[in-house]
Structure 1
Amino acid sequence: MSAQQIPQDAQVNIISKNEKKARELIKKFNLKAVPGISRVTFKQRGNLIYAIDQPDVYRSAAGTYIVFGEAKVDDMNQRIAEAQKAAEAESAMTAAADDKSPAAITADMEKVALDAATASNEEEEEEEGEVDDSGLDQKDIEIIVEQTGVSRAKAVKALRSHDGDMVNAIMELSS
């Protein structure tokens, strides 16, 4: 089968004659395959690293390892420089997105305070309308408002949900 006949997405290992002979000898020497190793690296002076990705690793009984795979040279100095460039670019983008100047912080705080005030005003407006307190004792409503510090509408609502039971209404509103 030639290289032109191999599908593009196929996982094919092309083994040289020497590697084929070495693998046959490994079988004769009773070496055991070591599964689960995804990368083997060898370090040389000057931060020069030889890396083998997805290697075939075999181990002898004496603790000697044999590694098969394509060795590639990794230059750690180049890798470190690339990582620093990426970190600088990321920090520049983060700094542009997160403006932490005093003016920006003050503006953000004012916006949050304005949103909170608007929400509480809308809630109070809903509660300040006419409250139907028919069937409830006015003194009970006043005691609940006094004890819990809520609006009259909330006190009436709590009393109605507990069928006029003041104790349970106060417990609900104070929790």
Structure 2
Amino acid sequence: MSIEEIPQGADVNVISKNEKKARDLIKKLGLKQIKGISRVTFKQRGNIIYAINEPDVYKSPAGTYVVFGEAKVDDMNQRLAEAQAAQQAAQEASASGAAAAAAEGASAEDKSPESITADLEKAALNGGAAEEELGEVDETGLDANDIGIIVEQTQVSRGKAAAALRKHKGDMVNAIMELS
């Protein structure tokens, strides 16, 4: 079957003779294929990135990798510009949506004494939690380095990090997962 006979839109890999030889040699060398990798990138000076979508990746016992696929140039500067434009558009949309919600919310706010009391109680509870965080943190029985790592990874206060670490009996992974 020649390339002209392949129906348009068919999912077919055409492997050259040299690539087939290389794959056979790799299998003889004991390299193991790694499944589930959807993209491999290589960065070069000047923010030039080479990207290989849907690659075939093999790993040697020594830890080196062999990657097969079509490398395409991916301009990092263009991606950054697109990301900034998308972020700016999202901020504008959220600002206009917040203004519309505030206009609707101002007229629909509940001014009953019960709702005002409930709001004051919520504020008092939140203020108490903030005061606890500002005070001394009880780190007895916990490793200070573990708490520091959790604070660094999750960007929370030392009090919250210590509480999560205590809740998970010193298990850093579960504490970080809870806080992130």
Using structure 1 for the length normalisation, give the TM-score: 0.55
Give the deviation of 1:107 after TM superposition: 6.3
Q: Does 1:79 align with 2:96?
A: no
SS at match of 2:5: coil
1:143-158 alignment, distance < 5 Å: none
Show structure 1 runs of 5+ residues with no match. Answer: 117-175
Q: State the alpha-carbon separation in 2 of the partners of residues 107 and 33 from structure 1.
A: 57
Q: Which runs of 5+ in 2 are unaligned?
A: 113-180
Partner of residue 68, structure 1: 68
* Superposition RMSD in Å: 2.7
Determine the C-alpha separation between the residues in 2 that align with 1:10 and 1:107: 52
Q: Which amino acid aligns with 1:96?
A: S
User: CA separation in 2, counterparts of 1:90 and 1:68?
Assistant: 37
Q: In the TM superposition, what is the alpha-carbon distance from 1:38 to its structure 2 partner?
A: 1.9
Rounded to whole Å, the distance in 2 between the matches of 1:65 and 1:110 is 62
| Residue identity in the other structure for 2:65 | Y
Number of residue-to-residue matches in the alignment: 113
Q: Distance in 1 between matches of 2:32 and 2:103?
A: 67
After the TM superposition, which residues 74-113 of structure 1 pair with which residues of structure 2 at under 5 Å, given as runs? 74-99=74-99, 105=102, 108-113=105-110
* Aligned-pair CA distance for 1:39: 1.6
Percent identity, aligned pairs only, is 62
**What stretches of structure 1 move > 6 A for 4+ residues in a row?**
none
Instruction: Mark the structure with the bigger radius of gyration.
Output: 1
Q: Please state if 1:39 is matched with 2:3.
A: no
Whole-Å separation in 1 of the counterparts to 2:103 and 2:47: 49
